[in-house]
């Protein structure tokens, strides 16, 4: 069995961009359209106002997650685990990495928005101590959005 390493990555790296196509593809399968139209700038995940992490199995990237500053909070974006690796705790490891990075940058909470067609993501967030908050962000007025937060 190989070890999956989580490391910081440049959001603009071609390998990261390729993985993000998988992220958007899966969101498109679940919700239709392009998957996620949330505006994201190339520098949104640049320290100290954000960070982007990937999970690398030694051959390819199998997961990712990033955070960007949202006032005093950090906003989780692009949390993803490849289908081939799901069920092995990688999502929980990625989430812990994001929380630690945002806390170290002085953020007081981690906030996120997901959708009702991602029950496994919702279950992960709730089991990790996240609670529902008032919807925010790009999709705040959509009926299927679910927003969560956790104090860091």
* DSSP string for residues in 82-120: -GGGTTSSHHHHHHHHHHHHHHHTT-SEEEEEEETT-HH
Task: Examine the pLDDT at 1 and tell me if it is beyond 50.
Answer: no
**How far is residue 6's CA from residue 17's CA, in Å, rounded to a whole number?**
17
What total number of domains does the chain contain?
A: 1
Given this model, what pLDDT does residue 57 score? 93
Residue that the structure tokens 């949390």 belong to: 79
Q: Residues in the chain, how many?
A: 152
Residue 122: inside a domain, yes or no?
no
pLDDT at 138: 83
**pLDDT tens profile 33-85:** 766 667 888 899 999 999 999 999 999 999 999 999 999 999 999 999 998 89
Beta-strand ranges (E) seen in 1-152 are: 5-8, 50-56, 61-70, 73-81, 109-115, 131-132, 145-151
CATH number for the domain including 15? 3.40.630.30
Contacts of 92 by beta carbon, 8 Å cutoff, 6+ apart: 124, 128
Please tell me the predicted confidence (pLDDT) of residue 147: 96
The answer to the question of residue 67 being in a domain is yes
Q: Is residue 132 part of a domain?
A: no
Domain that holds residue 49: 5-108
- The answer, yes or no, to whether residue 91 has pLDDT greater than 90, is yes
pLDDT attached to residue 10: 94
- Compute, in degrees rounded to 10, the torsion defined by CA atoms 3, 16, 112, 25: -100
Report how far residue 12's alpha carbon sits from residue 43's, in angstroms, rounded to the nearest whole number: 9
Asked, for residue 137, whether it belongs to a domain, the answer is no
Q: What is the dihedral of CA 110, 115, 120, 126, to 10 degrees?
A: 40
Mean pLDDT in residue range 84-108 = 95
**Residue 42 resides in a domain:** yes
Assess if residue 146 is contained within a domain: no
pLDDT of residue 97: 98
Q: What does the pLDDT look like over 104-139, one tens digit per residue?
A: 999 999 999 998 989 999 999 999 999 999 999 888
């Amino acid at each position: 069995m190989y070890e999956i390493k989580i490391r910081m990555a440049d959001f603009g790296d071609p390998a990261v961009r390729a993985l993000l196509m998988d992220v958007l593809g899966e969101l498109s399968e679940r919700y239709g359209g392009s998957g996620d139209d949330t505006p994201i700038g190339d520098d949104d995940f640049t320290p100290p106002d954000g960070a982007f992490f990937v999970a690398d199995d030694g051959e390819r990237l199998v997961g990712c997650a990033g955070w960007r500053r949202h006032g005093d909070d950090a906003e989780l974006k692009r949390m993803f685990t490849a289908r081939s690796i799901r069920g092995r705790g990688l999502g929980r490891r990625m989430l812990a990495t994001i929380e630690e990075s945002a806390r170290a940058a002085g953020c007081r909470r981690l906030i996120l928005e997901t959708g009702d067609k991602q029950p496994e993501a919702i279950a992960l967030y709730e089991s990790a101590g996240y609670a529902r908050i008032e919807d925010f962000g790009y999709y705040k007025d959509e009926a299927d959005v679910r927003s969560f937060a956790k104090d860091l």
